[in-house]
Amino acid sequence: MTFKSLVLIIAIMAVLSSMSHASDPSPLQDFCVAVDDSKNAVFVNGKFCKNPMYVTADDFFRPGLNMAGNTSNQLGSGMNLRWQAEFLPSLRVHSMLDLSFEPRSKYEEQTLYQNLASRRCVCFRGLIHFQFNVGKTNAIAFLWTRLPKSRVITIANAVFGSDPPINDNVLAKAFQIENKVVDYLQSQFWWDNN
């Protein structure tokens, strides 16, 4: 193998490996309590953070987490987006969503039915997961993400309420339903809980 071939192979590998890291960068710190005063702050990851030596428990407390969102909609769920300094200064590099679910059933053994393996679970980005309240009272689920401004995508809204709409034939084949059912579903108002 000649020297030119070796250099070419290394250059190609360098270019290809740089393209394979297409994701959000990980935060460089465990937490960052946002501050406006840059004189008494630590500059990490592009943000001014309170010096960790002066962080207290009050920096991580916020009343209102027990307040359910508005569930009087077609989905029967409401979402409160709580991110960065608008909600809690310590969420500077992460975000939190709380989802509220209206009561649906007479079951008593469990309040929130979900397709996750346990009550604490990691939901990978892009994978579909769900929660459904089977209890008699409202339920709230807290979701912590590593993205500063996360969103929830409702599958039915994304499929049948997309703009531009997905071709009827594609949806009819994918869901094994008739085109008139697809037309009916696409004509409905799809509630966006964001």
Least confident of 1-5, 93-97, 108-112: 108-112
Is the separation of the CB atoms in 152 and 97 below 8 Å? yes
At 173, the pLDDT band (50, 70, 90 cuts) reads very high
The pLDDT value given to residue 188: 80
At 178, the pLDDT band (50, 70, 90 cuts) reads very high
Which tens digit of pLDDT belongs to each residue from 63-74? 666 666 677 777
At 155, the pLDDT band (50, 70, 90 cuts) reads confident
Count of C-beta atoms within a 10 Å radius of residue 51: 11
What are the CA-CA distances from residue 54 to residues 32, 118, 127, 154 (Å)? 12, 36, 39, 41
Predicted TM-score (pTM) of this structure: 0.45
At 137, the pLDDT band (50, 70, 90 cuts) reads confident
Residue 147 has pLDDT above 80, yes or no: no
**Residue 96: which residues within 8 A CB-CB, separation 6 or more?**
82, 83, 87, 88, 142, 143, 144, 145
Distance CA 90, CA 49 (A): 9
At 171, the pLDDT band (50, 70, 90 cuts) reads very high
Residue 25 has pLDDT above 60, yes or no: no
The pLDDT value given to residue 21: 57
Q: How many C-alpha atoms does 87 have within 13 Å on its Cβ side?
A: 18
- What is the CATH topology of the domain spanning 65-152? Jelly Rolls (2.60.120)
Distance CA 100, CA 141 (A): 7
Query: What's the average model confidence in pLDDT over 39-45?
Result: 65
Distance CA 190, CA 118 (A): 30
Query: What's the average model confidence in pLDDT over 144-171?
Result: 76
Helix runs in 20-87, H state only: 84-87
Domain boundary assignment for the chain = 26-55, 65-152, 156-187
At 1, the pLDDT band (50, 70, 90 cuts) reads low
